[in-house]
Amino acid sequence: MTDVRMLPVPEGLDGLRLDVALSRLFGLSRSAAAGLIDDGAVTLDGGSPARSERVHGGSWLEISIPEPVDLAAAPPRAVDGLVVLHTDDDLVVIDKPIGVAAHPSIGWDGPTVTQGLAAMGIQLSTSGAAERQGIVHRLDAGTTGVMVVARSERAYTDLKRAFKERTVEKLYAALVQGHPDPSSGTVDAPIDRHPSSDWKFAVVASGRPSVTHYETVQAYRAASLLDVRLETGRTHQIRVHMAALRHPCCGDTTYGADPVLSRRLGLTRQWLHARSLSFDHPGTGQRLTVVSPFPPDLQHALDVLEAES
């Protein structure tokens, strides 16, 4: 069934983008609201608006909201390349492959970590939203590497707190174009959605505080391999901050990477890998560090650069 609603735009939303106004009015994510607009499920004063159109108090909205999808019903699904690096009664640490999301979500029909672990027979914590039980942090579908998932309720609580309090040490490896100057440093720049593109993010003065530390570990002729540590965990943070330095991640054409270099290195996605996680184990209290090797496509890019040096 579809829920059709018609109502005037409240005066308090005057001047907002249409997708933002819908998000606030109906409790939708901004991407879900944008999807409804693009699908023609929204009219504004009888017309077919763009997602970026500004609304005005008193204008009439009509929206057709489809019946909610039961994301929690997503069945177990084997995931190629999903590797367990460590597991015990409290948690499981995995090596997440490319093209795999953390959990089911609207608009994503690809494989997920939660489905893959279920297919392996690994039971997770029941804490958290139904579709993301056990998930205490996420990696983008296009980013590979180490990810920890809670199996016990105490692990879920402790790990969520550890990520919030920033006692988890997250080390990423990023191959960026050119040579950052200085070779090591900190980017302290707020991040929010890109002002003209819903699916990108950008350094925005009114954005959320975001801090990234980087250190060059290997300089090649055309690129530099960095160790990157995050103080905050914003969406696309490393990609946005490196692009802001004019040294985008190789292969990341979304944020300005050179497509010619990307093809030469054989990259079809950003060169970004969650290299290791270190945290206090919720059961033993001992510090646990788990490391992931570079996947074949990222290692190939390094081999090409090494051969050219």
Which position has the token pair 């279920």? 118
Could you tell me if residue 188 is left (phi over 0), alpha (psi between -120 and 50 degrees) or otherwise beta? beta
Which position has the token pair 């139904």? 130
168 and 146 Cβ atoms separated by less than 8 Å: no
Can you read off the two tokens belonging to residue 86? 């460590």
Looking at 19, 90, 95, 140, which residue is catalytic? 140
Based on the residue annotation, tell me whether 14 is a catalytic residue of this protein: no
143 and 154 Cβ atoms separated by less than 8 Å: no
145 and 273 Cβ atoms separated by less than 8 Å: yes
Rounded CA-CA distance 309/302 in Å is 11
The H-or-E segment that residue 269 falls in is: none
Sign of CA dihedral 209, 128, 19, 16: negative
Report cis status (omega within 30 of 0) of the bond before 248: no
Which residue intervals of the chain are DSSP H helices?
18-26, 30-38, 113-119, 153-165, 237-244, 259-264, 296-308
Positions annotated as catalytic residues are 140
